[in-house]
Amino acid sequence: MNLLIRCAIAALLMGSSTCAAASAASPPSEVVWNVETDQKLIALTFDDGPNPVYTPQILDILNQYQAKATFFVLGKRVQHFPEIAIREVNEGHEIANHTFDHHFLKHMSPEKLKEEIRQTQEVIFDITEQIPRVFRPPGGFYNDALLDLAREDHFTVVMWSWYQDTKDWKKPGVKKIVETVLNNVHNGDIILFHDLEGDCSQTVEALKIILPRLKEQGYRFVTVSDLMRLTKN
């Protein structure tokens, strides 16, 4: 699916500003939405954590089903809950940059954007000794300034498969989260969940249904970076 088609759909789901930025910015290869592959691989992603109550529960479920995931963390929450970030890394998951304080990049100057992302990189490295290689912009908004920085600092901007936005942060109900994932699943999907501050119990309960169902269908759960690497031509 080309970028213009994706943007038209994304505009309906996320608002026209995201689409405008995406369509004007750059070739689709600079932003990853999903990965085309004939392998039954899926990337589970979690935004806005760590959450001191629910992220450990998510990690327990992932471990139960031998699933690896990518956690797009906020720098300030990594500072508050360093032991969880360290656990994510120690258990083989990918830790990724989601800004320091969930600021929307469209409101930032290029200089402030660079400061925000690099500050978060430093926080994550200081605590986990890992340098994130992927970045997801809050709200899905990106522009030329972000893509220029991605080239300069050698990271990849990663979004999510537009049909795999569970909107779990809205607490739509476990059934709705499960149906969003299972009814739309494709090879190479990047699925969007959240382990944000507050109540993530619906996400936890949904994962208890989603992971065994997908595993029964032969899917393997890998990090975003592994998804891109394993399917690279």
Give per-residue pLDDT as tens, 17-27.
Answer: 333 333 333 33
Rounded mean pLDDT, 167-187: 97
Rounded mean pLDDT, 188-206: 97
What's the pLDDT score for residue 231? 75
Which domains can be identified in the chain, with CATH numbers? 31-230 (3.20.20.370)
Show Cβ contacts of residue 181 under 8 Å, excluding neighbours closer than 6 positions.
164, 166, 191, 206, 210, 214
End-to-end CA separation in angstroms for the chain: 18
Give per-residue pLDDT as tens, 20-64.
Answer: 333 333 333 589 999 999 999 999 999 999 999 999 999 999 999
Residue keyed to tokens 């258990």: 91
Catalytic residue among 93, 168, 194, 195: 194
pTM to 2 decimal places:
0.87
| Lookup: tokens for 169 | 């942060």
Would you give the distance in Å from CA 204 to the centre of its chain? 16
H or E segment to which residue 152 belongs: helix 144-153
Measure the CA–CA gap between 191 and 44, rounded to whole angstroms: 5
Catalytic residue among 47, 165, 189, 195: 47
pLDDT band (50, 70, 90) for residue 1: very low
Closest CA to 87 of 119, 57, 123: 57
Closest CA to 97 of 61, 127, 64: 127
> Does a cis peptide bond (omega within 30 degrees of 0) precede residue 132?
no
194: annotated active-site residue: yes
- What is the sign of the dihedral through the CA atoms of 73, 78, 80 and 84? positive
What's the pLDDT score for residue 29? 52
Pairing, β 41-47 against β 190-194: parallel
What's the pLDDT score for residue 27? 36
102: annotated active-site residue: no
